Amino acid sequence: MRKVSKHINQYLFEDIDEFIEKVDIDKLREEKLIDYPQYDWTEPIKQDFETILSYFGFYDIELCWDLSYSQGSGASFTAKWDRESFNIKELKEYTKNDKDIHKIAEWLKDLISESTKECECFEYGELEECGYLREYYKNKKECEEGMILSYAEIIRANNHYCHEYTIEAECYDADGNRRIDLDYDFTQIAQELAKWFYDKLEIELDYLTSDKGIAEYFVYNGILIDEKYIKEEYKNESTTNNTKDS
């Protein structure tokens, strides 16, 4: 720590541990938080999440988040989805050991499989068992090709807030028919992804506003500290190897 002004005492720290030891970080946090951090720290997290969503098959993605810790706090997204773009192999390679993302991916995979479950009736050979399906499809393969979950849209049902419960899904099969029976599960999948995104934002913000996070920000960026933020026992500290009057 070295004093850099004789008139208005300010200090420049070059060591993170020393910063944590000598600066009243609680006071600094309370009075300076509005100006910290002065960069878009969310950008890497947003880019990562958008990449993950693209592997899930989403496109035309718009993100929304609110970290104010109020009633509407949370995160969500709107997007369109195409089954052909869902690449679970590359998704798992990209996210490596993220078990939460892998679990959601398997959930979506299962939902796609379940979307053609009704087509199993063609194996039984009884016309009555397939009911209306036999009016549109000749056999199981044709049925599966038509009924498989193929498209979806994540829409915002509430424009007042950003949390995950403000979004819902509308699903369609390959023939363009609405699949209301799949909306609930697909909505839950989208909401779980939104929760994952919010958790990442919250973890990063918690770190950035922690003692170590603040110390790193001021030290690495060479930001001066006014004397009022120095703990009393260090304000009149004599010159040492770590303290030098300018």
Same domain, 75 and 132: yes
- Whether residue 112 is contained in a domain is answered as yes
Helical (H) or strand (E) element with 185: helix 180-208
90-105: pLDDT as tens digits: 999 999 999 999 999 9
Same domain, 27 and 94: no
Same domain, 80 and 101: yes
- Whether residue 74 is contained in a domain is answered as yes
* Amino acid 32: pLDDT: 63
- Whether residue 243 is contained in a domain is answered as no
Same domain, 191 and 228: no
Same domain, 223 and 114: no
Number of domains, the chain: 2
- Whether residue 246 is contained in a domain is answered as no
Same domain, 120 and 161: yes
- Whether residue 94 is contained in a domain is answered as yes
Write down the pTM of the prediction.
0.84
Residue 219: give the domain boundaries.
2-36+210-235
- Whether residue 240 is contained in a domain is answered as no
- Whether residue 245 is contained in a domain is answered as no
∠16-20-22 over CA atoms, to 5°? 115
Tell me the C-alpha distance between 44 and 212, whole Å: 20
Same domain, 48 and 142: yes
- Whether residue 146 is contained in a domain is answered as yes
Q: CA dist 84 to 59, 145, 169, 179, Å?
A: 12, 13, 18, 17
Same domain, 78 and 14: no
* Amino acid 242: pLDDT: 41
Tell me the C-alpha distance between 19 and 23, whole Å: 6
Q: H helices within 70-179, ranges in order?
A: 88-95, 99-114, 127-130, 140-147
Label residue 244 by pLDDT band (50, 70, 90): very low
Of 16-25, 143-152, 181-190, 234-243, the one with minimum mean pLDDT is 234-243
33-92: pLDDT as tens digits: 545 565 688 999 999 999 999 999 999 999 999 887 777 789 999 999 999 999 999 999
Same domain, 6 and 54: no
Comparing C-alpha atoms, which of 52, 73, 49 is closest to residue 63? Answer: 49
Backbone φ and ψ of 53, nearest 5°: -60, -35
- Residue in the structure block whose two tokens are 């993170």: 16
Same domain, 62 and 90: yes
Same domain, 18 and 130: no
Same domain, 194 and 223: no
